[in-house]
Amino acid sequence: MNKVTLTAFIKKRAIEFGFDAVGIARAEFLEDYAPILENWLDKGYHGKMTYMENHFDKRLDPRKLEPGTKSIIVLLHNYFPEQTQPDDTYKISKYAYGKDYHFILKNKMRKLVAEIQEKTGEFQYRIFTDSAPVLERQWAQRAGLGWIGKNSLLLQPRKGSFYFIAEILTDLELEYDTPATFDRCGRCTRCINACPTEAILPDRTINASQCISYLTIELKDEILPAEFENRMNDWIFGCDVCQDVCPWNRNPLPHNEPDFRPHPDLLSLTKKDWENLTLPVFNELFRKSAVKRTGFKGLMRNIGFVNNAD
């Protein structure tokens, strides 16, 4: 099978497996992003995520992460829910409503790889989704899937940003898509203006140490910084503010993945329900969920911090 036919087969089957978009980028050194990443780290915008300081070279060149890599297959998967939480309760990011996307997307990618191998025989590959030093948004842009917005998220024309990004690094030679060089944010600053903690800077930089997602998930301190009292806007796991206000997310289409649907009781929880949450109920609501990342103790820390500030 020649690379044109193989590329078409991969894209067709990826869509049939439930992915919403597929692009392919040539594996190479991200020379233009190196000074941006270095500056971001030097300014300490990564907060206490010290792991971001590791594997600098591998982040910029996937061939150092997985020697022999020639192509990066980038896949997008919608996670916008059909129904969302009411406004008068504590909120979790929409990506965490259902089962942990790491397992769901990796399972789909393994099936896709198995079908590719039926056509090509064994080949070298590794699969990732937010689980390794891979600059996912940069590769999605290189694969022609969209541009990186002022809120640092990948934006697709007419589709928005409520999409997971996943990758297959492979030694297969494939047809490469044209990188997206357009930027359709224009003069819009809605995400910058709406960020409750002013984490989105005017120069398209995110000070992650001020981001609510960082504070509620990545930061492991027993108490959240007092400077963020009254600024969390009831978010207790992640934050969707910059996406919710984005004009490109004006009419998001809901996903059709059963595993991303929330537990039947999740959307009906009141603030009192959240405050009285027990470990058994937590385990039931968030079985195989990304919310397990912060744990019961971390979630209750977040609820207590937000509640005390109200």
Please report which confidence band the pLDDT of residue 310 belongs to, taking 50, 70 and 90 as the band edges.
low
Q: What is residue 212's predicted lDDT score, i.e. its pLDDT?
A: 98
- Helices 3-16 and 101-120 cross at an angle (nearest 10°) of 150
Query: Measured between alpha carbons, how far apart are the two ends of the chain, in Å?
Result: 62
Average pLDDT estimate for 56-82: 97
Predicted pLDDT at 134: 95
At 104-139, the pLDDT tens digits run: 999 999 999 999 999 999 999 999 999 889 999 999
Q: What is the set of active-site residues?
A: 130
**Residue 291: pLDDT band by 50, 70, 90 thresholds?**
very high
Does residue 142 surpass a pLDDT of 80?
A: yes
Residue appearing with tokens 């963020």: 228
pLDDT score, position 209: 98
Q: List pLDDT tens digits, range 75-98.
A: 999 999 999 999 999 999 999 999
Domain segments of the chain as ranges: 1-310
Determine how many CB atoms are found less than 10 A away from the CB of residue 274. 20
Q: Using CB atoms within 10 Å of the CB of residue 83, give its burial: 0 to 12 exposed, 13 to 18 middle, 19+ buried.
A: exposed
Q: How many CA atoms lie within 13 Å of 294's alpha carbon, on the beta-carbon side?
A: 26
| Closest to 232 measured CA to CA, from 95, 94, 90, 96 | 90
pLDDT band at residue 59 under the 50/70/90 scheme: very high
CA distance 270 to 274: 6
Place of tokens 């903690």: 197
Residue carrying the six token digits 């997602």: 213
Q: What percent of the chain has pLDDT over 70?
A: 99
Q: What is the mean pLDDT of the chain?
A: 96
Q: What is the pLDDT at residue 1?
A: 83
Output the pLDDT for position 309: 64
Q: Three-state SS for 155?
A: strand
What's the average model confidence in pLDDT over 270-291?
97
> Tokens 């937590």 map to which residue?
282
Question: What whole-number distance in Å separates Cα of residue 150 and Cα of residue 201?
Answer: 8
How many Å apart are CA 236 and CA 299, to the nearest integer? 7
Which residue in 96, 206, 223 sits closest to 152, CA to CA? 206
Query: Number of C-alpha atoms within 13 angstroms, CB side, residue 24?
Result: 21
Query: Structure tokens of 53?
Result: 């300081």
pLDDT-above-90 percentage for the chain: 97
Task: Let me know: does 89 contact 278? Beta carbons within 8 Å.
Answer: no
pLDDT tens-digit profile of 151-169?
A: 999 999 999 999 999 999 9
pLDDT at 238 over 90: yes
State the DSSP code for 200: B
